[in-house]
Structure 1
């Protein structure tokens, strides 16, 4: 996972497939922990964790490896949002001068009364799509979210929204009753000049600029500078700078792979020898994890407690080694 010079190196492997989850820490021991989430537990895990909690965990694992129909769901959701949007009653209002691309521009205004019926119709349609596209085991997980939203919507009252358009681009959304305004001041790239204001004061802001292939973004919270992010889309170089801290690395993404590499971390000019690589790859082939298997689902309470104590002791020893070096986990 990570390599800090002078500190113990911790290597971990985690694999999830259609049948089970396998985890190992080769740098600690040769044991492989196996959890067969598609099978009924015959041991004491359910009693210790709680049957309901275990079912939720199983559903998460099941969903992670069963996403083949996700693109179809997203397409259906997009069509439904467009359909609902076209049914809403927008009214043309007065123009308003707003700063766009560095200059004051006349922007056409539109108003919308967003009603409880609008939101209920949208939520009902979305819920139907999920129920039709997902297996019952997965849908039941989403059902709780839909029920929570439905409860919130029942207490919702009609709110007026105002939208402002410049040359076909959305540049401002205003919520008059809430004294909240969202500004998109760059018509080509929203992130280059974006802000959220409450009662006239900026609470979130992003200011960006482009220099050849490098893009940089300054981030503000409550008017205070919170850091800068720089990314070169040709070389993949990535940098994050805030409060004397610098994190440097590279980031690359393609249709089948995303990779983030952290090469250097420094604080107040002092470099920490730290590196980390995070990769997501479609169709990746698993390495075979060899070692003595420990089946969580069939283990007794005594065996589970012994396993926890074993790993707790390992990490206590690692922590002590790092403390001796003057470092902290």
Structure 2
């Protein structure tokens, strides 16, 4: 549910409007202070339990095609601004253009409940209801994703346990036992996770150094996709990062090719001690030579270089400052 409340004040009266995205009207009791400049939008994000959600990622788009690409394909690109909710579940966007339409994707990875929460099935568009000099409040409710992916380690790979799993450069958990056959998502030995729809790149690393990787297309409907590790773990990994000197050049998009996007750096990092280090972008690939491209969005600078990935390795690459 996406409820937008706003006030307009005249000399004689105060008119309170509450707009429901699907063009239904409801009554509101609260009052609001008018802010004359700039035009701001404050969003309160609640999870499926109804409580304010801290740490939810809120992406704002002003182009419907970029919004749909991110929603349907899981591409984290094309947004005009990204922010995270505070301890009260709030995030504020400022200096908004009253003539534009804004679209919002909100996601939160709940590692305790092994589920992505999002607003993909709810209202998403804030359409030209901003008025100059008026502070607008909005509320977005999240729901658990529909599709479940169940990772597991076959009995033939028992010697590689335990295995740590990563999805989109984010650690989601580990597996410490094997599975001979799969009966359902709640089966013991499976690492089952509800993911938001779109293509998800996953990687796994064993305690013996073996590395696997793959991609799963997560459907928007209720589904379960058992995903086993394969016998061949002939892969290595590479991790990219930037230092504090590149802070004003972020974000930086890194690709191996137009169809093989590794990820985007949004923060600087200290020197990583391993792959999947915080604020780095990591990719696992078969052994071989690869040419990567790093595109610095703020400075329009582009660099390319070649790296070699070896079996069960972790290559650390620091990207230079690029003005």
Normalized per residue, the structure richer in strand is 2
TM-score bucket of the superposed structures, by smaller chain: under 0.3
Which has the greater radius of gyration?
1
What's the TM-score, normalizing by structure 1? 0.23
Higher helix share: 1
TM-score (norm. length: structure 2): 0.23
Higher relative contact order (CA 8 A, sep 6+): 1
